[in-house]
Amino acid sequence: MDSSLVGLLNSAASADPTVVVAAGQQLISLTSNYGASNSTFANLACVVFSDSGSQLTLDGRFVGLIHLKNAMFDARIWQNLHPSERVLVRDRLLAYLASGRMPSTHPNKVEQLPRIGPCVAELVARLVRNEWLKDGWTDEFWDRLISWSAWASLRAALRAAASFRLPARRRAFLQLVRMLLPKVINLWKMVISTPEIESCIRLSLLLHTCIVSVGGDPLYGPFLFADEYGSFASTIFEGILLSLDKLLECCQESNGSADPARLLRRMCKLLLVLFISCSSAVRDQFVRPVLVHVVQLITSYPLSIGALKGFDERSATWLLALLYGIQSALVPNCRSRFPLNEKGVDEVKTWMFTPLATDNGAELTSVHLSHMLFVLLQYWFPLSSNEKRCLVTDPEGCLASGGSSGTDGPSYSSPSTTAHITSALAIWDADSQARELAKLDVPTLLGFQGSELQIHMFQPCRQLVELLVTLVVREFGDETRTLLFHVVTNMQQHATNCDHYETVMRLVQLCLPYVSLDPRWCSLGDSLVTTGLQIIDSHLTVNEGTPDPDMVVFCTRVLCLLVRCAVYGTSHSLGSSSLEQRCTAAVVQLIRFLNRCSDMISPSSASVKSALCLRLSAANALSWMLDQPLPSGEYLTTHLSPLFNSLVELIQDVSECETRIFLLGILCKLIEVAEMSGCPQLANQLLNLLDRLWHLDTQSAALRAKILDAICLLLVPLNWCADADDQTIALRTSLQTPIASLIMAAIRASDTSGADALFDPGLRLWASFVTGDEACWSPAVDSLMAVLVGQPGLLDSNGDQFTQPDHVEPLLNRLETGEQTELFLKIVRGSLILACRAGREQAITFLRRWTEPFWSTVWHAYTTNTQFSTDGHTSRTQNRLDYLYSSTAAVGFADVDEAASDAESPCRIKQLSLLANWLSIFLDIAGDSATHVVRLTPSLIGLLLASAQRSLKTAPVEAHNDVCPLATQLRLGLLARLAISKRHWLIFLHILHCMHTVPGPTQNAVIQTLTSTRLDSLSPPAVENGAQLCELVLLALERWLARADSLTDTVDRRCYAVACLVSLTYCAQFSVSSGIDFSADTDQLEHWAVADTVHSRWLEPVINLCIDVLHETDRTDPGYTSVCHFPHPQGLETHAGLVQRLRNELTAWQQAVDDNTLYAEALFRCHVDPVLRTQLETVLSV
């Protein structure tokens, strides 16, 4: 078997493809039959781990290891192997690894084999993953790996053990690491004192794995090196610092050797993770020597090895990160700090302000902090050649979200090229980037495994120095700012080229937000900008041919600093005394660079890419200025037209869709800040541009979404501008049909293609289209309602015709978020208001056409939610409204538990409010004697019936016992509106009767009966006696009275009061004297009045509520001029109308009691406080 298996493995690794395929199929057949008793994997392990099997080639052994690894990685295979077979595989694997043991601390021979070594390490890791802490496992396994010098396998095994996340496993792993640390540290100390660099690197990697595998946050731990384990950290610190001293000498003497630099990189990272893993008390002991060594390395090493070799960027990254974390420790509550106790903080502060000493011991005037900042800014702050090259040659790529990829040449520590990603925003807006990155901790910045965020396009060395500078100038006080100012001025004085000036200007840009009140810094910024503009004028427009990348990048930095000085500057900045004048001057300069035909970027003096880079940087500078919270946008008014035209040209000249989106975003800011709606000519140009862009790239949903947002920003002020001139009114009118077409295209695109990128922008534009004091009705609004209800066939010749499918999904069924639901409700309400604002006839047409198509979708959602499956296997049907209600706190008439936490969601309240508004208008029009009889539709009656069931049967009487009081109040308001409509009183009685007596399955028949019968021929509900209906009416009256005090809306309270009085009038007919005349006998009349149970309980509360609503402040100027003014229900919108309606209802109540006023007087005397009666008569007589 062994010989045949050896031949099979060798064949699988053959150079003949036919032989490889045949052998591979046989191997798969053997290894897939893991349930057989032929011990395939035991035989495979014997072959691949046998030293005597010389016939097995290296490639054949590798193929066998792959199949064995697949078995160990597949839990189904490994766990189904016989225990003895698993033991044999494990023993053979470990014996094979032990055979590679070398004398002393040399790396394991097996692990050095190409391809074989990494595969063996993976097998060991999988063995730990499958067997660690199970029966038969012993910690002798770890000691064996150490004794065999199997560092790679031990690292892989530790990572596998660290992958368990259960607390018990994590505690066991922490104990394991602390058990192994002394042995690993001893070996590491022994190796770092020898010239064996490779062994030192491998053991440093192992020690690094031991430390980082434990995990832990720099702020909160857990810390591997807590106080009681500080001696371990002490040993490692001492070894690292000693090695760093030796490596510094070694690197200076080496002639291009990469090994010392590799070890240096490893030691630097080990120092960083060790410091992170220590508790504050342990850090205090070593922070001073660590800080000294780090600063010595990072400031002297670049000088000693020369610019050609360069400093290993990754080594610098770890050292700068450590320096940043230590400096942040001086700032309480800083997220990036490595916390220190008071002793450690004092050590750092003392070192920072200790004067430097020369070689002969003489002190210099500068301190450690200023010297450190000067060297860091000189060597690690400038932009790399790759960044400048990418920025100039591929500006659109650098502006993209993924940045532009470039490569640096071979470096001192890396003989190969290194890929870097360049982001234009990270370079131009360095101050904004630093402000955001300062919120993150160091492991997140460096992208350590386990970090919650992964920072893309982070240039660690440069941006860590930027963070250090920002930290110093923001948190360390005036003394430190003065030191930094001297450093900056020193750099300015020694600046000899564009690269130097760019570095100084970027440094000032970083500092200005925090030192804007210091005249020295503002003057420095102004001086740099003035000098920069002079250099541009004298060089960029004179030199022929393609300018140097350094010059182009310098120009972009001048623009970045220009706008900062304008915003942050003092009264004398940029030669202007006011903020508005400074910003206006900055805009003038930006237009020079934005303009395609400007002398700054004429084709004779710059390449196309360089010119585009300058124009995009000017656009980005404008974007930054527009983002600032300035008092007004007046600074844009004078130059708005050339600024707008330049942006339009730039949008047309770029080639990437993402760049167009970026520039459209700037254009949207310009629309908002400069109030472009007041410039109809520019608005027309903008619309023409957006139309061209819309058709330019039909596949880019993101671009089209941005176009819709831009139109929305332009439309909002147009629809709210009350003092518009004729041009603005004409513009508003001309936009109706084009915008409706865009909305239609956006909604249809997301419906037909399944791409929802245009759905939200389409809804936002639609909502802006139908809202606003100056928005007006048009056939386009009517045509869009057909899209909203999903019935395009309802369009008639009065509306614009659009090509649509025969049936589309109702918009309500496509909503997925709470924001979409709110926009949807805003659209419906806005369309309703516009129809009513257009006049009575238009309102009637709108209600007749769209009431049932729209509300039937809501009613259908309600009825679907109440249906359950009957097969016992499937759950109840989930519809779109139910999904919204349960997952996004949206609203619906879903049959859900009202005790849910989202039952009182804003969307639910808004939908019920919309129904109340719609019903009020509908009832007013239906109740108008000049209107042909308009019947309530089935969906409206169904929703009213649902509201009655929820508010009168499910909800408690008192509001404080209700989990959804607002919804109940609105539902009661719907019933109140129906009750006060005289033509629909019988409908109200039928709804109450159906709610109380008709079973749910048969209620649809009642709804059909009520909608198919004319109002004037409708009969009261069939009951044995009228007292039954009176009880139902009193049930509603009780709820109205109980909830009236909780209402905040004036109209709802008026509806409640009138409905209570109407209901009392209806019930008064059952208290008549039955033909007996009590008027002659006062005692009998009083006895009759006292015995009247209906009035004894309800008359005074109803009168009291009427008095309350009469005393409330009247609303002014009701009408459709604002969404806040809604003149419905008619007769209650004004105080005079309310008074007249209450007078009429009191007269009707008196007549219902008896035509003789003595009966009503008797009821008042017996059941109403005389003071209340006096108040009622007073307010009604006004």
> For 287-308, what is each residue's pLDDT tens digit?
999 999 998 888 876 544 433 3
Band of residue 1093 on the pLDDT scale cut at 50, 70, 90: confident
Q: Which pLDDT belongs to residue 1068?
A: 87
Q: Which pLDDT tens digit goes with each residue over 446-467?
A: 888 665 555 667 888 899 999 9
pLDDT of 830 above 90 = yes
Residue 889 is assigned to a structural domain of this protein: no
Domain containing residue 1088: 1047-1182
Cα separation of 384 and 14, whole Å? 48
Give the separation between CA 470 and CA 513, rounded to whole angstroms.
10
Q: Is the confidence at residue 522, as pLDDT, over 70?
A: yes
What's the confidence (pLDDT) of residue 415? 43
The Cα–Cα gap between 70 and 24 comes to 14
pLDDT of residue 1123: 41
Higher-confidence position of 26 and 237: 237
pLDDT tens per residue, range 1112-1167: 875 444 455 444 456 778 888 888 889 999 999 999 998 888 776 788 888 888 88
Please tell me the predicted confidence (pLDDT) of residue 1122.
Answer: 44
Q: How far apart are the first and last CA of the chain?
A: 114
What is the C-alpha separation between 844 and 134, in angstroms, rounded? 79
DSSP 400-447: STT-EEEEE---SS-SS-EEEEE-HHHHHTHHHHHHHHTTS-HHHHHT
pLDDT of residue 684: 80
Q: Which one has a higher pLDDT value, 36 or 714?
A: 714
Indicate the SS3 state at residue 217.
strand
**Confidence category of residue 361, pLDDT binned at 50, 70, 90:** very low
Is 1039 among the domain residues?
Answer: no
Pick 239 or 732 by higher pLDDT: 239
Residue 456: its pLDDT value, please?
65
Per-residue pLDDT for 679 more than 80?
Answer: no
Contact 1114, 1134 (CB under 8 A): yes
Residues 6+ apart with CB under 8 A from 519: 570
Domain-embedded: residue 961:
no
Indicate the SS3 state at residue 367. Answer: strand
The residue out of 576, 597, 631 marking a domain boundary is: 631
Residue 868: what pLDDT?
38
Instruction: Pick the range with the lowest mean pLDDT from 171-180, 318-327, 1132-1141.
Output: 1132-1141
What number is the average pLDDT over the span 1019-1041?
87
Residue 318: inside a domain = no
Summarised one tens digit per residue, pLDDT across range 727-781 is 778 888 888 888 888 888 888 876 555 557 888 999 999 999 999 888 889 999 9
- Between CA 290 and CA 240 the distance in angstroms is 10
Q: What is the mean pLDDT of the segment spanning 637-662?
A: 89
Across the chain, what does the average pLDDT equal?
A: 82
The model's confidence at residue 874, banded by pLDDT at 50, 70 and 90, is very low
Q: Is 524 domain-assigned?
A: yes
The Cα–Cα gap between 1178 and 948 comes to 35
Q: What is the pLDDT of residue 452?
A: 56
542, pLDDT greater than 50: no
Among 781-785, 807-811, 1120-1124, which stretch is predicted with the lowest mean pLDDT?
A: 1120-1124
**363 has a pLDDT exceeding 70:** no
Strand partners for 420 = 406
The stretch 1008-1018 carries a mean pLDDT of: 78
Establish if 224 belongs to a structural domain: no
CB 434 within 8 A of CB 463: yes
Q: Which residue is listed with tokens 């505690």?
A: 171
Cβ atoms of 590 and 622 within 8 Å: the answer is: yes
Confidence of residue 588 (pLDDT cuts 50, 70, 90): very high
Q: What is the pLDDT of residue 1071?
A: 67
Cis peptide before 222 (omega within 30 of 0): yes
Judged against a pLDDT cut of 70, whether residue 338 lies above it is answered with yes
The listed range with the strongest mean pLDDT (228-232, 458-462, 512-516, 1121-1125) is 512-516
Per-residue pLDDT at 1177 exceeds 80: yes
What is the distance of C-alpha 680 from the center of its chain? 35
Mean pLDDT on 1080-1104:
85
Question: What number of CA atoms fall less than 13 Å from residue 117's CA on the CB side?
Answer: 16
Q: Is the model's pLDDT at 346 over the cut of 90?
A: yes
**pLDDT score at 414:** 44
**Assigned domain for 450 exists:** no
- When divided into structural domains, the chain yields a total of 2
CA pair distance 392, 548, nearest whole angstrom? 9
Q: How many percent of the chain have pLDDT more than 90? A: 35
pLDDT band at 329 (very low <50, low <70, confident <90, very high): very high
DSSP string, 998-1037: S-GGGHHHHHHHHHHS-GGGPPPP--SSHHHHHHHHHHHH
| pLDDT surpassing 90 at residue 257 | no
> Rounded to whole angstroms, how far apart are CA atoms 353 and 525?
27
Q: Mean per-residue pLDDT for 485-512? A: 92
Q: How far, in Å, CA of 131 to CA of 126, rounded?
A: 8
Please state, in angstroms and rounded to a whole number, the distance separating the CA atoms of residues 68 and 88. 13
DSSP state, residue 108:
P
User: Of 573, 597, 631, which marks where a domain is finished?
Assistant: 631
Distance, in Å, from the CA atom of 143 to the CA atom of 1077, rounded to the nearest integer, reads: 113
Among 334, 347, 350, 248, CA closest to 294: 248
1051 belongs to a structural domain: yes
Give the residue from 484, 489, 454 showing the smallest Cα distance to 466.
Answer: 484
pLDDT bucket at 402, cuts 50 / 70 / 90: confident
Q: Is 363 left (phi over 0), alpha (psi -120 to 50) or beta?
A: beta
How far apart (Å, rounded) are the C-alpha atoms in residues 779 and 798? 6
Mean predicted confidence (pLDDT) in 856-867: 72
977/1050 Cα distance (integer angstroms): 13
Burial label for 311, CB within 10 Å (0-12, 13-18, 19+), is: buried
Whole-number Å distance between alpha carbons of 200 and 41: 37
Q: Which of 581, 597, 631 is the last residue of a domain?
A: 631
pLDDT of residue 272: 95
What secondary structure letter does DSSP report for 225? B
Of 40-44, 93-97, 1175-1179, the range with the lowest mean pLDDT is 40-44
Predicted confidence at residue 359, as pLDDT, reads 52
Of 943, 895, 886, the C-alpha closest to 915 is 943
3-state DSSP of 470-539: HHHHHHCHHHHHHHHHHHHHHHHHCCCCHHHHHHHHHHHHHHHHHHCCCHHHHHHHHHHHHHHHHHHHHH
Identify which has the larger pLDDT, 1122 or 339: 339
Q: What is the pLDDT of residue 103?
A: 76
Res. 409: pLDDT tops 80: no
Whole-number pLDDT of residue 846: 92
pLDDT per position as a tens digit, 131-175 = 898 888 888 999 999 999 999 999 999 999 999 988 899 999 999
Residue 686, beta-bridge partner list: none
Per DSSP bridges, beta strands 404-408 and 418-422 are antiparallel
- For 49-82, what is each residue's pLDDT tens digit? 886 556 888 888 888 888 888 888 877 788 888 8
